[in-house]
């Protein structure tokens, strides 16, 4: 007898699971229910619809061959039934039924042999006073997208405040500023943007970049209240100031929508997501779950993790579809690879940040470097900033993050390492990672290999590097007699700084260092800097060879300092 499959939720996970399953078992009965009227859309495209990059909202719902993915499409093309505006209200695991409620209030029990939870997530509710005012929106679905876009198109938005500087908040900040010229302010409770995703150093570069494009940031600030007029928001009050706003976007995170599963007695994890195994089975083997409503194994920490990512939801949906048809597909877990475009630059990463790695108990360090993403002689090239998080002792790579202006080049580098993380690569694996090369695409020693080499040198104590934050700290203390700032670039590069800071900025090009070693004091800490960190590393080796051991090199050099927006 043909199987009965019921799927709850039809955006990324649910529709993918249904399509995959029907390809393998065309005779089976599949009913997909969703409480919304719009299903199977690319929510990740919302910021680009709001910006205007995607001109028509229906493009987020069409296939690559321009068919709208609605009930008719799934019936005629994919061969299964979709019931929209239909809410699943109860699951009876003994009877193996799902009670659904239709728009008109009537209900029906749907029997299942296999059931799928693809109920996704909902925006976190911070319960801020005044949050019910008009023109305060989350960005959770296409309805939100339409409401936000229509306000903008009607010219009703001059000042927007975005609460939360995670990837959705930042994408929305770009969308509002870039295309619409709206005065956009981002309020973030933490002391950096993308908290938990990248180090403070990379975050600082991205913040500086976005500030240059007109977005204003208020970090380490929390929103206390929204006030309005005629039911519409007018002001956002933080613990430090009041900001004008005729649009507020709440991007403060999401939480798994797992109550229905919990009420049915399924196991729910510490982050509120449904617990699943590698086959995406819940604690009941006839019920699967995936996407934003589920937790998966973090492939580095070995703990459960909540990664609300469309990429993951799609892969999980396929695993579920295969297994419902009697297959044995698995998804071991994830490392949370992400990328976000911020105007002309991008932030990307995978695995653990240094902060998180230390919190997890790893004896971790991180190295930063900056290098050209293509051959230095090729006309189009850009600097890429990468950070590798490694465990001392084992030399295991725990994570990689980066910031750069060439998004495709950057995401390629991040993916090459992030995709390896589950195999527990060491620094040596990264140094020797085989990567394709041609001058328009890379350097002969790719930036990723170079990053591995920097980490190797660091672990072998061949150099002592400092990041931009530490350099800033030293520079603020420049009157300290114990510090000696030494620029090891060619004289024309160093000269403007020597003229500006005659007492503090010294120059000896690296190729002259050995000859002019008497000019280097032996009783001070030498802070070495060059353009990107290559010559200061060489200079460090020279100084050590000559017995001057107390020196540090700025990893990423002046390029990093400039990207930080440091006033020097
Ligand atoms: C603005 C934005 C940008 C994003 N950008 C990216 C990105 O660049 N990269 C990336 O990887 N991810 C991105 N994401 C995340 C990605 O969109 C989600 O991870 C993905 O949509 C999750 O899919 P899902 O099917 O698990 O859940 P959802 O998309 O949340 O869908 C769940 C569906 O289930 C329905 N439902 C819930 N409960 C019931 C019930 N009881 N009965 C019936 N129906 C129910 C809901 O109405 C909803 O339609 C972005 C998300 C947003 C909002």
Share of the chain above pLDDT 90, in %: 94
Q: Does residue 336 line the site of ligand 1, with CB under 6 A?
A: no
State residue 453 phi and psi, 5-degree precision.
-65, -40
Taking alpha carbons only, the member of 146, 137, 202, 199 closest to residue 164 is 137
Which residue is it, tokens 């160093």? 494
Please tell me if the domain spanning 338-459 has the same topology as the one spanning 465-564: no
> In whole angstroms, what is the distance from residue 325 CA to residue 285 CA?
13
Could you tell me the pLDDT band of residue 355, with boundaries at 50, 70 and 90? very high
Would you tell me which CATH number, out of the four given (2.170.130.10, 3.40.50.880, 3.50.50.60, 3.40.50.150), belongs to the domain 4-39+57-121+255-324?
A: 3.50.50.60
Overall residue count recorded for the chain in this entry = 568
Q: Does the annotation count 44 as an active-site position? A: yes
Lowest mean pLDDT among 10-14, 65-69, 447-451: 65-69
Catalytic residue among 19, 44, 488, 530: 44
Q: Does residue 311 line the site of ligand 1, with CB under 6 A?
A: yes
- Residues 195 and 182 sit within 8 Å (Cβ to Cβ): no
10 Å CB burial of residue 113 (0-12, 13-18, 19+) is middle
Q: Does residue 450 line the site of ligand 1, with CB under 6 A?
A: no
- Residues 3 and 18 sit within 8 Å (Cβ to Cβ): no
When pLDDT is averaged across residues 503-513 and rounded to a whole number, the result is 96
pLDDT digit string, tens, across residues 45-61:
999 999 999 999 999 99
- Residues 271 and 295 sit within 8 Å (Cβ to Cβ): yes
Distance 157 CA to ligand 1 centre (A): 27
Instruction: Give the architecture-level CATH label for domain 338-459.
Output: 3-Layer(bba) Sandwich (3.50)
Atom of ligand 1 nearest to the CA of 290: 26
Q: How does strand 345-351 pair with strand 338-342? A: antiparallel
Could you give the angle at the alpha carbon of 552 between the alpha carbons of 551 and 556, nearest 5°?
A: 150
Class of domain 136-252: alpha beta
DSSP structural state of residue 268: B
- The conformational region for residue 123 under phi > 0 = left, psi -120 to 50 = alpha, else beta, is beta
pLDDT digit string, tens, across residues 246-273:
999 999 999 999 999 999 999 999 999 9
Q: Does residue 255 line the site of ligand 1, with CB under 6 A?
A: no
Q: What is the pLDDT of residue 566?
A: 86
> In whole angstroms, what is the distance from residue 412 CA to residue 453 CA?
19
Residue ranges of the domains in the chain? 4-39+57-121+255-324, 136-252, 338-459, 465-564
> In whole angstroms, what is the distance from residue 175 CA to residue 431 CA?
38
Instruction: Give the architecture-level CATH label for domain 465-564.
Output: 3-Layer(aba) Sandwich (3.40)
The yes-or-no verdict on residue 159 having pLDDT over 60 is: yes
Task: Determine the residue of 308, 316, 339, 348 to mutate for testing ligand 1's pocket, defined as the one with the most ligand atoms within 8 A of the Cβ atom.
Answer: 308
Q: Does residue 101 line the site of ligand 1, with CB under 6 A?
A: no
10 Å CB burial of residue 549 (0-12, 13-18, 19+) is exposed
> What is the H or E stretch that residue 186 is in?
strand 183-187
Q: H helices of 227-275, where?
A: 259-263
Could you tell me the pLDDT band of residue 356, with boundaries at 50, 70 and 90? very high
Q: H helices of 297-437, where?
A: 310-324, 354-359, 407-418, 427-431
Distance 140 CA to ligand 1 centre (A): 7
Q: What is the pLDDT of residue 127?
A: 96
């Amino acid at each position: 007898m043909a199987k009965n499959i019921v799927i709850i939720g039809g955006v990324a996970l649910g529709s993918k699971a249904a399509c995959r399953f029907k390809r393998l078992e065309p005779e089976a009965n599949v009913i997909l229910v969703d409480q919304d009227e719009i299903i199977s859309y690319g929510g990740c495209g919302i910021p680009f619809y709001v910006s205007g990059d995607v001109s028509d909202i229906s493009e987020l719902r069409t296939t690559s061959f321009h068919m709208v993915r609605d009930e008719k499409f799934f019936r005629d093309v994919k061969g299964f039934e979709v019931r929209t505006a239909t809410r699943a209200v109860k699951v009876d695991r003994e009877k193996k039924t799902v009670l659904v409620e239709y728009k008109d209030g009537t209900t029906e029990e749907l029997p299942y042999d296999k059931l799928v939870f693809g109920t996704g997530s909902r925006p976190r509710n911070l319960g801020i006073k005044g949050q019910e005012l008009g023109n305060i929106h989350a960005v959770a679905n296409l309805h939100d997208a339409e409401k936000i876009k229509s306000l903008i198109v009607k010219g009703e938005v001059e000042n927007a405040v975005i609460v939360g500087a995670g990837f959705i908040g930042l994408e929305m900040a770009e969308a509002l500023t870039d295309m619409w010229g709206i005065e956009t302010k981002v309020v973030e409770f933490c002391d950096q943007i993308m908290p938990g995703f990248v180090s403070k150093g990379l975050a600082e570069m991205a913040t500086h970049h976005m500030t240059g494009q007109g977005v204003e940031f208020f970090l380490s600030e929390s929103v206390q209240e929204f006030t309005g007029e005629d039911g519409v928001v007018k002001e956002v009050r933080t613990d430090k100031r009041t900001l004008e706003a005729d649009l507020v976007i709440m991007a403060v995170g999401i939480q798994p929508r797992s109550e229905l599963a919990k009420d049915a007695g399924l196991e729910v994890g510490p982050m509120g997501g449904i617990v699943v195994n590698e086959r995406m089975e819940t604690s009941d083997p006839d019920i699967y779950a995936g996407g934003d409503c589920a937790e998966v194994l973090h492939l580095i920490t070995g703990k459960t993790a909540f990664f609300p990512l469309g990429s993951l939801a799609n892969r999980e949906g396929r695993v579920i579809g295969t297994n419902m048809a009697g297959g044995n597909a698995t998804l071991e877990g994830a490392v949370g690879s992400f990328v976000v475009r911020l105007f002309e630059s991008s932030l990307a990463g995978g695995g653990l940040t240094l902060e998180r790695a230390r919190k997890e108990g790893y004896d971790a360090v991180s190295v930063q470097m900056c290098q050209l993403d293509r051959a230095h002689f090729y006309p189009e090239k850009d600097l890429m900033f990468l950070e590798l998080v490694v465990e001392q002792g084992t030399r295991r790579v725990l994570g990689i993050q980066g910031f750069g202006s060439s998004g495709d080049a950057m995401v390629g580098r991040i993916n090459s390492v992030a995709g390896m993380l589950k195999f527990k690569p060491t620094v040596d694996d990264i140094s020797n990672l085989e990567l394709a090369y041609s001058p328009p695409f890379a350097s002969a020693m790719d930036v990723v290999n170079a990053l591995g080499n920097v980490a190797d040198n660091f672990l072998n104590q061949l150099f002592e590097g400092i990041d931009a934050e530490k350099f800033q700290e030293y520079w603020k203390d420049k009157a300290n007699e114990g510090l000696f700032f030494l620029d090891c670039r060619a004289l024309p590069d160093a000269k403007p700084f020597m003229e500006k800071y005659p007492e503090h900025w010294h120059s000896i090009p690296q190729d002259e260092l050995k000859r002019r070693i008497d000019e280097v004091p032996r009783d001070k800490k030498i802070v070495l800097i060059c353009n990107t960190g290559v010559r200061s590393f060489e200079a460090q080796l020279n100084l050590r060879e000559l017995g001057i051991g107390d020196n540090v090199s700025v990893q990423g050099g002046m390029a990093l300092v400039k990207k930080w927006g440091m006033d020097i």
